[in-house]
């Protein structure tokens, strides 16, 4: 609550400064940016849009006023974050509310801002480079829908240039030619895959892991998931090589450890852990060691290490989950008659609970709900609406604390911020892996996942599932771009697969079939859907 009060105080002071003082245009501009940033800090993105619209009205759409901003790297990064976050929120909101019109910076505008920043000497940190990449990929998607393939390739070249990748390099030249052929429907995804593999074999390009991950992002955003998977595997090979070349570098070795965790190479993980023990802080080492114990099935030793850092809130939940059978129910229609099994569990966890009258088949999904996870995007869009439903629940989870009723409930122990899993090789876990990781900290008697197909279906969501809007006018498979922006398909499935193989969790029949696939077969299936 203290943090929330500080946010409100800062916001009110900035508003008063703008209202009652006379400032130069440069200072006024900075205060407006700070206002939008504080709104982001408060996680009130509806208000962020209003603030950004004010910037648009006041300064025009040619972001940014360069003579105000390029001299200050911090303001530039801050402003870029505000533009990117507001554009992404508006994009996500329009996906489920196509009738709503927002006046916000377009993806073209945001992309141009980041390229201008890169070319004006702004040091691109990892976060800013990610925002540049994703804004260009969203822009490329808009151009692809307009059949502007030259524009798509131009956006891709901007990404490559920002990452320091030479478009004249023979391998990259071939990469761009293959991408263009795919966009023009001259080559299929499988033909691009074959050519991509041949080019790797012939030219043997020696790129950094970051370069390979950049190519991976470009490929998967354009629907070439199998080729992207090849690039991703090259990135992992290079991550291991980078760690070996600099054994005293904690960043390289930690990233290599995450890759070893993902591919379940636990002998390599053990070697990297031993190396990291000498070069990182004890607390961080113990966190990594606990994760190693978890993925190798030694849950008791993992919990012993976790116990040292459990908060008061975590301990309340430890009592709640102790010796309980837990069902985690996803949104995917499977046709399996699992409703009775779900309802027989002591605790049933669902996503985005919006009351008990949701029109789902009880034979398939069951009827009981004890706990829910409210996704960040869902709360941003629904604002105070879920407040009326939480009284039906024992507790609810959130990934981050929010302003308003959620922060109050976190303080009063009605809501809990999930324990974060920061050890994915790429990006962040989505809902089900987040829940699983949190409740594995507690001594449950059983955890079973139902109705999760890792998006490997034309219908990854039931049309009546809370927070999902699908109708006859909407494609069966929802827009994949937000999924690829926030989460990594391989990191998600690998984490759950490792836990399942170690016997730490159970899954339903449909989920077991998907977890039994190799990652390349999974990506082949996903490419057909995308």
Instruction: Give residues with Cβ within 8 angstroms of 505, minimum separation 6.
Output: 436, 440, 447, 448, 449, 496, 499
Q: At CA 183, angle to CA 178 and CA 185, rounded to 5?
A: 95
pLDDT(263) > 60? yes
Please, are residues 504 and 447 in contact by the beta-carbon 8 Å criterion?
Answer: yes
Please, are residues 155 and 111 in contact by the beta-carbon 8 Å criterion?
Answer: yes
Whole-angstrom Cα distance, residue 154 to residue 149?
A: 9
Q: For residue 157, give the nearest of 148, 144, 168 by alpha carbon.
A: 168
What the chain holds in terms of domains, given with CATH numbers, is 71-242 (no CATH), 246-302 (no CATH), 310-470+478-528 (3.90.1480)
Lowest mean pLDDT among 71-75, 208-212, 248-252: 71-75
* Model pTM score: 0.88
3-state secondary structure 355-422: CCCCCCCHHHHCCCCCEEEECHHHHHHHCCHHHHCHHHCCEEEECCCCCCHHHHHHHCCCEEECCCCC
Question: Which CA distances in Å does 361 have to 133, 155, 334, 456?
Answer: 41, 45, 11, 21
Q: For residue 509, give the nearest of 258, 338, 378 by alpha carbon.
A: 338
Please, are residues 463 and 470 in contact by the beta-carbon 8 Å criterion?
Answer: yes
Which strands sit side by side in the sheet containing 347-351, from one edge to the other? 415-417, 395-398, 371-374, 347-351, 325-329, 446-450, 506-507
Whole-angstrom Cα distance, residue 493 to residue 507?
A: 13
pLDDT band at 469 (very low <50, low <70, confident <90, very high): very low
Tell me the β-bridge partners of 348. 327
pLDDT band at 99 (very low <50, low <70, confident <90, very high): low
pLDDT 10s digits, 348-361:
999 988 887 566 78
Whole-angstrom Cα distance, residue 109 to residue 142?
A: 13
pLDDT band at 201 (very low <50, low <70, confident <90, very high): very high
Q: Is 467 left (phi over 0), alpha (psi -120 to 50) or beta?
A: left
C-alpha 304: how far from its chain's center?
A: 29
Averaged confidence pLDDT in the chain: 85
Q: What value does the CA radius of gyration of the chain take, rounded to a whole number of Å?
A: 24
Average pLDDT over residues 452-470: 67
Q: Which residues of 67-97 are buried (b: 16+ CB within 10 A; e: fewer)?
A: ebbbeebebbbbbbbbbbbbbbbbbbbeebe
pLDDT(103) > 70? no
| Long-range contacts, stretch 271-276, CB < 8 angstroms, 24+ apart | 272/243, 275/247, 276/250
SS3 state at 488:
coil
pLDDT(206) > 80? yes
pLDDT(22) > 60? no
Average pLDDT over residues 64-84: 70
Q: For residue 90, give the nearest of 56, 122, 64, 124 by alpha carbon.
A: 56
pLDDT 10s digits, 432-443:
999 999 999 999
Whole-angstrom Cα distance, residue 33 to residue 82?
A: 8
Helix crossing, 73-96 with 107-119: angle to 10°? 160
């Amino acid at each position: 609550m203290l943090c929330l009060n500080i946010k409100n105080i800062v916001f009110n002071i900035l508003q008063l400064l703008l209202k009652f003082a006379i400032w130069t245009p440069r200072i006024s501009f900075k205060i407006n940016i700070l206002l939008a940033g504080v709104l982001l800090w408060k996680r009130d993105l509806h208000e962020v849009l209003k603030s950004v619209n004010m910037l648009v009205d006041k300064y025009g759409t040619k972001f940014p006023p360069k003579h105000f901003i390029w001299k200050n790297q911090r303001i530039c990064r801050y402003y870029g974050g505000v533009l990117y976050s507001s554009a992404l929120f508006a994009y996500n909101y329009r996906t489920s509310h196509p009738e709503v019109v927002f006046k916000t910076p377009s993806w073209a505008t945001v992309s141009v801002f980041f390229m201008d920043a890169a070319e004006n000497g702004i040091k691109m940190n990892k976060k800013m480079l990610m925002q540049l990449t994703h804004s260009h990929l969203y822009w490329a998607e808009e151009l692809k829908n307009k059949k502007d393939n030259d524009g798509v390739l131009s956006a891709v070249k901007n990404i490559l240039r920002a990452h320091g990748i030479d478009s004249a390099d023979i391998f990259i030249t071939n990469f761009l030619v293959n991408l263009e052929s795919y966009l023009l429907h001259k080559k299929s995804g499988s033909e691009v895959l074959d050519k991509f593999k041949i080019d790797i074999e012939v030219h043997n390009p020696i790129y950094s892991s970051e370069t390979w991950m950049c190519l991976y992002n470009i490929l998967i955003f354009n629907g070439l998931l199998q080729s992207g998977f090849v690039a991703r595997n090259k990135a992992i090979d290079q991550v291991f090589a980078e760690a070996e070349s600099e054994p005293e570098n904690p960043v390289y070795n930690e990233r290599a450890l995450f890759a070893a965790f993902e591919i379940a190479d636990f002998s390599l993980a053990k070697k990297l852990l031993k190396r990291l023990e000498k070069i990182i802080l004890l607390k961080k080492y113990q966190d990594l060691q606990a994760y190693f114990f978890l993925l190798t099935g030694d849950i008791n030793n993992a919990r012993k290490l976790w116990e040292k850092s459990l908060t008061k809130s975590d301990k309340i939940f430890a009592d709640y989950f102790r010796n309980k059978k837990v069902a985690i129910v996803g949104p995917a229609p499977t046709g399996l008659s699992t409703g009775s099994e779900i309802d027989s569990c002591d605790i049933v966890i669902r996503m985005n609970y919006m009351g008990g009258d949701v029109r789902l088949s009880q034979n398939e999904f069951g009827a009981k709900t004890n706990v829910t996870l409210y996704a960040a995007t869902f709360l941003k869009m629904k604002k105070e609406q879920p407040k009326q439903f939480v009284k039906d629940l024992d507790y609810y989870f959130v990934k981050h604390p929010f302003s308003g009723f959620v922060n109050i409930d976190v303080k009063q122990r009605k809501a809990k911020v999930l324990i974060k899993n920061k050890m994915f090789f790429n990006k962040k876990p989505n809902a089900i892996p987040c829940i699983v990781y949190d409740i594995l900290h507690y001594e449950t008697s059983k955890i079973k996942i139902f109705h999760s197909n890792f998006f490997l279906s034309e219908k990854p969501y039931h049309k009546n599932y809370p927070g999902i809007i699908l109708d006859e006018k909407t494609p069966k498979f929802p827009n994949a771009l937000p999924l690829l922006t926030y989460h990594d398909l391989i990191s998600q499935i690998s984490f759950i697969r490792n836990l399942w193989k170690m016997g730490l969790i159970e899954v339903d029949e449909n989920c077991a079939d998907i977890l039994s696939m190799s990652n390349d077969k999974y990506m082949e299936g996903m490419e057909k859907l995308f």
